[in-house]
Amino acid sequence: MMLNAWHLPVPPFVKQSKDQLLITLWLTGEDPPQRIMLRTEHDNEEMSVPMHKQRSQPQPGVTAWRAAIDLSSGQPRRRYSFKLLWHDRQRWFTPQGFSRMPPARLEQFAVDVPDIGPQWAADQIFYQIFPDRFARSLPREAEQDHVYYHHAAGQEIILRDWDEPVTAQAGGSTFYGGDLDGISEKLPYLKKLGVTALYLNPVFKAPSVHKYDTEDYRHVDPQFGGDGALLRLRHNTQQLGMRLVLDGVFNHSGDSHAWFDRHNRGTGGACHNPESPWRDWYSFSDDGTALDWLGYASLPKLDYQSESLVNEIYRGEDSIVRHWLKAPWSMDGWRLDVVHMLGEAGGARNNMQHVAGITEAAKETQPEAYIVGEHFGDARQWLQADVEDAAMN
């Protein structure tokens, strides 16, 4: 049989669209087959798809045959081979060439079709905003300028006028008064720059200016204008066709959170109470010291061995992850802080399982949610496992 075939699991022989994978085989030579079947799999079950001879030739003397594999469901790795049929015989074509016998599963062509994330994300121009330092709205509510004692810094917070120069003094305790309504006022300016999506550093209630020491995951900090200001920002971004992504700090909470309550505010938190309902949401050493993030005592690590914590953060129907993706908030996704360190027993044990759980919960709630993980190093193992859509440092 004087027949030659060409195929590799890369373009132009393989082309992916949103819902299907187009597979093409090139043939030249004498005695071409009457039919060709694409042998493939769906959820590990063998199936045969008829290939269609194309009218146009990719090269002079070359005939192209094509078939489509449905990508709406099934496994991310698709294996396939080609069954060429004549009236009196058949041959198989695989990476090893032609064969009279059907190939073993691992001898077939293979192409990985990972979840590439929501289609809208690829076309966005993102702008990251640190809320306290971007724009300050007027008039202000009294609670936006409330002065309180910042335990982690050992002093009261410092309120500065908007035009005062920035100094290194008391960095985490110094506030300039930027807020979410200020961001709303600047949306036309951002739109003019070409910005189409915003990623906000943490906005939930917390004592520091950076808000990575979360005190309440269910409410926006009054310094930023509270829940109402976030609703207004969400409405205004939607009116302008802009996306809005929040920062999820789920590796640790702040030590002033009611779950932990280091400063004895009477919430029954885990720090000083072995009988606290939240005790197993954190990890403690034998001497009762809470395990924290990188030596910062104000950032106690959350322990995902606890089923009730898992339900509160992502698995439950009204979990924190789901809550902010639902109406009326309808956020477009989460950026996950130091997500490679999240896990069980004060460390990152079973990390991939829980990151995947966060992403699954988000996409069950909002199928077009965009999940971005923060990583200090190589993030390929998370991306290739499809447990997040993208990575950043």
Which sequence positions are flagged as catalytic?
337, 374
SS3 183: helix
Give CA separation, 173 vs 148, 150, 217, in Å: 10, 7, 20
* Residue 190 neighbours by CB distance under 10 Å: 20
| Cα–Cα distance for residue pair 246/239, rounded to 1 Å | 18
Could you tell me if 204 and 220 are in contact, meaning their C-beta atoms sit under 8 angstroms apart? yes
Compute the distance between CA of residue 362 and CA of residue 109 in angstroms, rounded to an integer: 33
200 half-sphere exposure, CB direction, 13 A CA radius: 27
Q: Kindly state the greatest CA–CA separation across the chain.
A: 89
> How do strand 333-336 and strand 370-374 relate by DSSP bridges?
parallel
* DSSP assignment string, 86-150: -SS-EEEEETTEEESSPPPGGGSEEEE------GGGGG--EEEE-GGGT---SS--GGGG---EE
Alpha helices in the chain (DSSP H): 180-185, 187-193, 226-239, 307-310, 320-323, 351-365, 380-384
Task: Write the DSSP assignment of 275-315 as a string of letters.
Answer: T-TTGGGB-B-TTSPBPEETTEEEEEBB-TT-HHHHIIIII
